[in-house]
Amino acid sequence: MPTPDLNTFKLPLLRRLFVLVIAACLPGCHMAQKTFSVDKPRSHRTATDHFEIRSDFRIAKDSPLVLELEELQKQITSALQLPKQRDPVVVYLFSDEQTYRNYMQTTWPTLPARRAYFVGTSRELAVYSFHSETIQEDLRHEFTHGLLHASLNTVPLWLDEGLAEYFEVRGREVGREHSGHVKYLQTARVNGWTPSLYKLEQMSDFQKMTQQDYAESWGWVHFMLHTNEQTRQVLINYLAELETRTVPGKLLPLLEKAAPSYYDGMLSHVSNMSRGIEFASHTTPTR
């Protein structure tokens, strides 16, 4: 994927958006050439105020899938205080995995196999996936990307992924720990890893993001949203700036000013979550 001089395209309301291709829940995001196929799902259409689903099979408007995406939209908008959504998100759902993979391989031949993708172009903000037992989990990450880019002018790579990782965790309450990331960061810490928001903010190439970068991006987002009102407001204010900016500024100086002990705070935050996970695993009764 190109470095910061990405080609941009004109979007409605005089907005500009990077071309994005974001893989679901796995390291490695890739950029593909802008090509299109006539084989997108189109037999059925389910529309809401904020997104629509086009599928090869019938989906009721009150189905669990639609209701969960509607609830997720409300949670994201409320938690991040996002401005009014300016572009719709279109979710394309294929009836089976093989048809989905054939379409993706034909349309985006350079991409590796993934169960879901978010693709933002000058034409639309689209999520692609297929009907399966894990469809709701697969869509949450990509749908979050779609909503962010439907509401904001630009989103830095690390924050885009950190927020998608944050909201992909299912649950009635927003902000449940991502146990996989917590465990990964704790192990990395033992092996010498130290958090660096500065490093993450320099990243602009999807292909160079590692599992550690995804986990750390999630960690910074969770730390800021759940430590105290000062750190939460830093992130909320920063997102508000992204509504109109074409080139995002750096968040680190703002966080450093609001929370001078942010580095130690981030480490403590992850450690506390790790202890909570360990405690829960030891106290859960066996059957």
Q: Which of the four pLDDT bands, split at 50, 70 and 90, describes residue 205?
A: confident
DSSP alpha helix (H) spans, 119-178: 135-151, 157-167
Does the pLDDT value for residue 244 go beyond 90? yes
Q: List CB contacts of 271: < 8 A, sequence separation 6 or more.
A: 186
Regarding predicted confidence, which is higher, 34 or 255? 255
| Class at the top of the CATH hierarchy for domain 8-151 | alpha beta
The 8-class DSSP code of residue 112 comes to P
Confidence category of residue 36, pLDDT binned at 50, 70, 90? low
Query: What pLDDT sits at residue 276?
Result: 66
Name the residue with higher pLDDT: 284 or 87.
Answer: 87
Alpha carbons 131 and 93: distance in angstroms, whole number: 7
Of the candidates 216, 219, 239, the residue with the CA atom closest to the CA atom of residue 227: 219
Percent of the chain with pLDDT over 90: 71
Quick one: tokens of 152? 């904001």
Q: What is the pLDDT of residue 38?
A: 57
Q: What's the pLDDT score for residue 278? A: 60
Say what the pLDDT of residue 119 is.
Answer: 92
Query: How many CA atoms lie less than 13 Å away from 145 in the CB half-sphere?
Result: 33
Asked whether residue 25 carries a pLDDT value surpassing 90, the answer given is no
Does 62 score more than 80 pLDDT? yes
Average confidence score pLDDT of the chain: 85
Q: How much is the pLDDT for 111? A: 79
H or E element: which one contains 126? strand 125-130
**What is the rounded distance in angstroms from the CA atom of residue 227 to the CA atom of residue 255?**
12
As a whole number of Å, the end-to-end CA separation of the chain is 49
Are 27 and 209 contacting, i.e. CB atoms less than 8 angstroms apart? yes
Angstrom distances, CA of residue 268 to CA of 185, 236, 264: 12, 22, 6
- Residue 115 clears pLDDT 50, i.e. is over it: yes
Please determine, for residue 80, whether its predicted confidence score (pLDDT) is greater than 90: yes
User: Nearest CA to 155 among 238, 230, 84?
Assistant: 238
Check pLDDT > 90 for residue 44: yes
1 or 54, higher pLDDT: 54
Give me Rg for the CA atoms of the chain: 19
Query: From CA 165, how far away is CA 242, in angstroms rounded?
Result: 19
- Mean pLDDT throughout 194-209? 92
147 to 61, 91, 135, 164, 230: CA distances (angstroms): 19, 11, 18, 10, 25
**Looking at residue 18, what is its pLDDT?**
36
pLDDT in tens, 144-175: 999 999 999 999 999 999 999 999 999 878 88
Q: What is the DSSP letter of 116?
A: -
- pLDDT of 9: 30
Model confidence band, residue 121 (pLDDT cutoffs 50, 70, 90): confident
191: pLDDT strictly greater than 50: yes
% of the chain with per-residue pLDDT over 70: 83
In the chain, what are the domain boundaries? 8-151, 165-283
